[in-house]
Amino acid sequence: MLVGLDIGTTNIKLWVYDEEGNPIWGTRARTPLEFHESLKEILHPEKLWKTVSKLLGSIPDDVKKKIRAIGISSLGETVFPVRKDGSSMAGLIWYNTITKETYEEFFSRVDPEWIFRKTGLRASWIFSVFKMMYYYRSFKEEMEEIETWLDVSSYIAYILTGDKRMDRCLASRTMLIDLKTGDWCEEILDIANIPGKHLPDIVDSGIPRGTVKADIALDLGFPKDVIVTTAGQDHMTASFPAGVFNLGSVLNSTGTTEAVLWGVDDSVLNTFLKNTIHDFNAGFHVVPHRYYLVDGLPTGGYCIEWFLRKVLRKDFEHLENVRMKTNTVYFFPFLRGIFSNMGAGASFLNLSDETDSDEMLISIIESLSFEVRSMIENLRNLGLEKDYKLIMVGGESLSELVVKIRSNVLGIPVHLLQTSEATTLGAALLAGLSAGLYKDHRDAFERGHRVSKIVYPDRNTDYYEEKYQKYKKLKKELIDLQ
């Protein structure tokens, strides 16, 4: 059996699968984020490990004894500075804006287009380089004791096995990787004043990182020789069992963030790096010799959670009682800004004294679909085929209302996998690959890929077309004002 671990911004999910990708047992816990008085939003490494180890230890004994390998996927951009004694300082969570001044100072002396051509990443405060720079500038004495930096997945792999390398897919989100070489870019390291000696070796996702240490295996009740691997960033991990490493498929990965991902080859990547479309970023896929293009919103499904829980004081089950209906309300889902504009904010527009909560909730769902459509139109400009296949995964895919609106706005069928937990499945399949249970990536994918349902758009979608066109105009005017 195989364990897939998904360390997300909101939740940490663990599922055990058999070798055919069938779910056997699962659990979850809240990600132990904290608000630090001076550092703002952080992820504390010891509390993270405590939560992960508790989840691993909770696997039933009869299931646990059959485990062969563990695959770990995680959120991106957050990195831990690991000291020489093995302890670690807290990691700044990816959306932490404390790095704003560092980010602005960096790009006051560096051409964003040069960075883009090197790394495939567009200027944004979220990338790891600015978190690293902030630490070096704010904690000079403490940083002298640092041995290496590790992404979230690699940190857990290090605790389990002692391996101190970084996952290539997650390293793509540091803004320090040269896409042409697949290694650290010394020019950017020099500009950022980050010591190269503090950066670990880089390895592909799905490469064995070692076996679980004897004392940890004993403490958790695990068999001997359980192999551990890292499985990339969550959205990219989810794209693996969805089959989104072929040019004809696109992934809509939903969760705290909303992402659109396209798996591409060298040819498309080279075209992309000529800056023919806006907003998307590139990096190394979890599948060897493939790259991803990804765009997204810092708050996708979180907008729905925010409105349900903080405004309506209701659970997600409330969505089952909401019926589709046309409305004149617009929502702009920028609760944490947008990646290219930290100052953008969320807002409702066109409310009236007759507007009810259902209309407001539907407008939120529509807005997320409008954003997804805008991202896909950018990919169409890069060569995405007209008859592309869209696979939707994550929390939003569990709602019939959300999926139906998504299909209507896009005007195409939406394919749903048998499991909404595509990230844990992808991590488990890559774990199986690292343990030698599959011949290659194609074999692993085919064993785990199952489409359970296809949702088709309604025949008459004029309402969504008209509202989408107006949404685009209003969004531009709103952002220009902020």
| Res. 229: pLDDT tops 70 | yes
Phi and psi for 314 in degrees, rounded to 5?
-125, 165
Structural domain contains residue 151: yes
Structural domain contains residue 10: yes
Q: What stretches of 119-271 adopt beta strand conformation (E)?
A: 146-151, 166-167, 177-178, 183-184, 202-203, 227-233, 249-254, 258-264
pLDDT on residue 342: 58
Instruction: Return all residues near 148 (Cβ < 8 A) that are at least 6 apart.
Output: 82, 164, 198, 199, 200
Question: Domain containing 146 — which CATH number?
Answer: 3.30.420.40
| Structural domain boundaries, residue 107 | 2-234
Structural domain contains residue 322: no
pLDDT on residue 340: 61
Mean pLDDT of 287-301: 90
Structural domain contains residue 411: no
> What CA–CA distance (Å, rounded) separates 358 from 363?
8
pTM of the model: 0.89
Mean pLDDT of 185-194: 96
Structural domain contains residue 371: no
Structural domain contains residue 272: no
pLDDT on residue 256: 81
Note the pLDDT tens digit of each residue in 359-415. 999 999 999 999 999 999 999 888 898 889 999 998 888 899 999 999 999 999 999
Q: For residue 435, which amino acid is it?
A: A
pLDDT on residue 478: 76
Instruction: Return all residues near 101 (Cβ < 8 A) that are at least 6 apart.
Output: none
If you average pLDDT over every residue of the chain, what do you get?
93
Three-state SS for 43? Answer: strand
- The burial of 170, by beta-carbon neighbours within 10 Å (0-12 exposed, 13-18 middle, 19 or more buried), is given as buried
Going from the C-alpha of 14 to that of each of 63, 280, 391, 423, the distances in angstroms are: 13, 30, 22, 10
Note the pLDDT tens digit of each residue in 467-478. 999 999 998 887
Note the pLDDT tens digit of each residue in 35-89. 998 999 999 999 999 999 999 999 999 999 999 999 999 999 999 999 999 999 9
For the record, the structure tokens of 371 come out as 């954003």
Structural domain contains residue 68: yes
The number of distinct structural domains making up the chain is: 1
